[in-house]
A and B are shown apart, each in its own frame.
Chain A
């Protein structure tokens, strides 16, 4: 059998990006106090999220003592995270503050668990595993920025048995609509997508697409048919800003995949629109159907992107995405400067 060569050998560059790991709502519903802890996996690493003294923190989900999972412990009233096994108590900096078995002795220096940078934005909890280079930012989302939007919906995250890269490519793939979404997103009569210019701007891939207007007659009214402007912050975020043909109103589909393992991802979705009277479950329901059409096909793909896959000019978005991932992966092995340059050097094709 042919051995498949991976697109990017060393995946550690992904640790330098911000990734969402949970919604604020998940944390607040995790227990009566709404403070966690909750356990998540990000890039194969177990991470615990908790609210300590009103601050949401993320740290390695592993007690320094006997490696018990801190996410199975509890948050104490004084804002410390307590290990479920022998009760070691951790502060928001990840350092152990108290060892119940010997409360009067000084706490050993090595008694800490790795704390990660953690931020809340768009109702989501974001974590950056490696902040040493500090050159990435939380991806752009238009939902609260554009005053035309009257309603923002933060979807319940959903897991897919495919890699975050595959999910990203699927969301931006123009040539699968006719095959995977006939009747929901696209008319089978339109299978030839336009090949559009693609820019790199400030760490985002940006491109614009205008599907045929005549499909308005054949697609369901919930279908977000319009002109589509993509701002896709590397590596896994997509801000799809739509101007609906139906009523010339803006509609936002924002999605970010969080890499759980090399072949599973957790997906976060934000929908924003202009009609405060539409119940939230309506656009969500439509998206659920679309996702149910994609998921079984995408899950047949193996997780890792391969250099041996054959690309055509119509795969331009995927090709440009892969090219950039490869450059980022390689640059990260050279150090901060190279990585920053690979991420933040703009390349404009659209003019």
Chain B
């Protein structure tokens, strides 16, 4: 079980909900009122709706379908249909995560963040597999997160952000055209 970058720290805004992916899992990434960043599976334990379609209320995340509220630790603190009763025994699917070097890292297993830090590039979505992109890039300057089998997200660091971004977009064009 690998550890992947799933977002830039500074892009996880208070009140916002960021959608991410890691292998086949869809993720919701959010910053609670405490300031901590949470990475959960983007699926409500009740009826599997996408939590990222709900609301970040700071102290809790609210599901879009029946309005269950999930506290920052993932537990259910409010079920409207039951008059607001909490269910500490029910929890969102919480992943191990940490913020280092300006990046949010997550893992479905044991978390192992590297010492990867620097001025972040604009994260870029590629419509080709992580392996194909990895073969083309410098591993000391990039980290690649698979988004399913045929897409991935590339995170990078480079002092010349604009030039590096142009290089990445050109690479993307080439790889996607090759199909």
Contact = CB atoms under 8 A, between A and B. Distances in A.
Q: Do chains A and B touch in the complex (CB under 8 A)?
A: yes
Interface of A: 1-2, 4, 169, 173-176, 178-180, 191-193, 296-298, 300-302, 306, 309-315, 318
B80 A191 contact: yes
A173 B45 CA distance: 17
17 contacts: A2-B93, A175-B80, A178-B80, A179-B64, A179-B65, A191-B67, A191-B80, A192-B80, A297-B53, A298-B49, A301-B47, A301-B50, A301-B65, A309-B46, A312-B79, A312-B81, A312-B87
A180 B47 CA distance: 14
Given A1-B93, A174-B81, 17 more contacts: A4-B48, A169-B47, A175-B80, A175-B81, A178-B67, A178-B80, A179-B65, A179-B66, A191-B81, A192-B80, A297-B49, A302-B43, A309-B48, A310-B45, A312-B82, A313-B82, A318-B47
Contacts of A309: 45-48
Nearest to B53: A300
Contacts of A313: 82
A179 B47 contact: no
Interface in B76-91: 79-83, 87, 90
A171 to B, nearest CB: 13
B81 A314 contact: yes
Interface of B: 23-25, 41, 43, 45-50, 53, 64-67, 79-83, 87, 90, 93, 108
A296 B64 CA distance: 10
By Cβ-Cβ distance, the 10 closest A-B pairs, closest first, are A300-B50, A175-B81, A314-B81, A191-B80, A179-B67, A1-B25, A310-B45, A300-B49, A301-B48, A175-B66
Main SS of the interface on chain A?
loop
B48 A314 contact: no
A179 B80 contact: yes
A297 B51 CA distance: 10
A8 to B, nearest CB: 16
Contact of A296 (B53, B66, B79): B53
A1 B80 contact: no
A1 B24 CA distance: 9
B24 A192 contact: no
Contact of A314 (B45, B65, B82): B82
A314 B41 CA distance: 24
B51 to A, nearest CB: 9
B21 to A, nearest CB: 11
A191 B80 CA distance: 6
B54 to A, nearest CB: 9
A314 B84 CA distance: 12
B48 A193 contact: no
A267 to B, nearest CB: 18
B65 A180 contact: yes
Contacts of B43: 302
B82 A192 contact: yes
Nearest to A192: B83
Contacts of B80: 175, 178-179, 191-192
A297 B48 contact: no
A193 B41 CA distance: 28
Identify the interface centre among A174, A310, A314: most chain B CB within 10 Å of its CB. A310
A315 B80 CA distance: 12
Contacts of B49: 297-298, 300-301
Contacts of B108: 1
A310 B46 contact: yes
B172 to A, nearest CB: 27
A178 B81 CA distance: 9
A4 B42 CA distance: 14
B81 A193 contact: yes
Contact of A297 (B23, B25, B65): B65
Nearest to B22: A1
A311 B68 CA distance: 12
B171 to A, nearest CB: 30
A176 B49 CA distance: 12
A310 B90 CA distance: 8
B66 to A, nearest CB: 5
Contacts of A306: 48
A21 B49 CA distance: 27
Contacts of A2: 41, 93
Nearest to A314: B81
Given A306-B48, A309-B47, A300 B64 contact: yes
Contacts of A1: 23-25, 41, 93, 108
